[in-house]
Structure 1
Amino acid sequence: MTAAPAVAPTRTSWIPRLAAVAAVAAANALVALVAPLLGADLVVAPPGQDPATVSVGAFAVFSAGFALLGWGVLALGERLLGRRGLVIWTVAAVLITLLMVVPPLSAGGTVATTVVLELTHLVVAAVVIPVFWKSSKAA
């Protein structure tokens, strides 16, 4: 009697990644809900534009949207470049996070609103980058 060949278990990357997308959308919606209690009116007035309030829904949609965009770019990089694609994506994600510090500073909001906007960028990066890295089949 011969033993069946051992099959290496495969990791499913989409489940933790989808959970990360949902988590950042929910977390940033919660931040937006709590922000007025901390003095942030969430009104921005970029130069040359009328003041507008950033809605809770916008926080959730943009957080999820950019997390999904990052997921798509990572999946493409993993497919085309393997581990090297994961490393390139990680470096790019960190650099983009650092660059995303600038837009809230020029959004024309109060200090509290600016802090909330900066925090939401960090929430996305703090959740998405490590979860996407750990769930990569290339890691």
Structure 2
Amino acid sequence: MSATTITTAPSTAPSAVALLRDGVAATVAAAVASSAVAAAGIAVGIGVDIAGAPIPVSGFATLTAIFSVIGLVIAVGLRRFARRPRTTWIRTTVALTVLSLVPDVIVDATTATKLLLMTTHVVAAAIVIPVVARRLRA
């Protein structure tokens, strides 16, 4: 009787746990950053009123967190099913970020408010997209 040694090649794909851990950390950072950008805009006199109704600063954090978690769900799916998850993630999320700017452009608000809203989207994307991309294989 002989002993058989089984060796397995190390996985090239990071674990889903690592992806989610880093993604959640990026989500928290993006939520804080988008709220900080909104608060800074308010501090310098830029209103965050949409059709006359103000957006609370906490609303920026909440929506950033919600949409970042949706992004993490997409990343987990891409990790599992896409041939090139990192490339697909970057292309998809950049396209979604650009699309997220459309409502900001057409909303009933001042130009300064529109620019502030768009800035919060870009700041959040600039935090989450690269962190998640690092956890996906090319």
Normalising TM by the smaller chain, what interval? 0.7 to 0.9
Q: Which ranges of structure 1 fall in alignment gaps of 5 or more residues?
A: 46-50
1:15-48 Cα distance to aligned partner (Å, 9 max, x none)? 2211100001001111122211222110011xxx
Structure 1 residue 101 displacement after superposition: 2.1
Q: Distance in 1 between matches of 2:68 and 2:45?
A: 27
Q: AA paired with 2:57?
A: V
Find the residue that maps to 2:68 and give its secondary structure: helix
Task: Give the match for residue 71 of structure 2.
Answer: 70
Which 4+ residue blocks in structure 1 deviate beyond 3 angstroms? 5-11
**Selected match of 1:21 from 27, 38, 53:** 27
Q: Compared with structure 1, are the counterparts of its residues 92 and 6 closer, same or farther at alpha carbon in structure 2 (3 Å cutoff)?
A: closer
Structure 1 residue 108 displacement after superposition: 1.2
How many residue pairs are counted as aligned between the two chains?
A: 130
Q: Which ranges of structure 2 fall in alignment gaps of 5 or more residues?
A: 1-6
Structure 1 residue 76 displacement after superposition: 0.9
Q: Distance in 1 between matches of 2:19 and 2:120?
A: 24
Q: Percent identity?
A: 30
Is structure 2 residue 129 aligned with structure 1 residue 123?
A: no
Q: Distance in 1 between matches of 2:71 and 2:20?
A: 13
- Contact 1:39 1:112 (C-alpha < 8 Å) held by counterparts: no
- Contact 2:19 2:135 (C-alpha < 8 Å) held by counterparts: yes
**Selected match of 1:39 from 7, 26, 45:** 45
How do residues 43-54 of structure 1 correspond to structure 2 at under 5 angstroms?
43-45=49-51, 51-54=52-55
Structure 1 residue 7 displacement after superposition: 7.8
Moved more, 66-75 or 13-22: 13-22
Structure 1 residue 119 displacement after superposition: 0.2
Task: Give the match for residue 107 of structure 2.
Answer: 107
- Contact 2:89 2:133 (C-alpha < 8 Å) held by counterparts: no
- Contact 1:42 1:53 (C-alpha < 8 Å) held by counterparts: yes
Q: Distance in 1 between matches of 2:75 and 2:19?
A: 11
Q: Distance in 2 between matches of 1:19 and 1:37?
A: 27
Is structure 2 residue 135 aligned with structure 1 residue 135?
A: yes
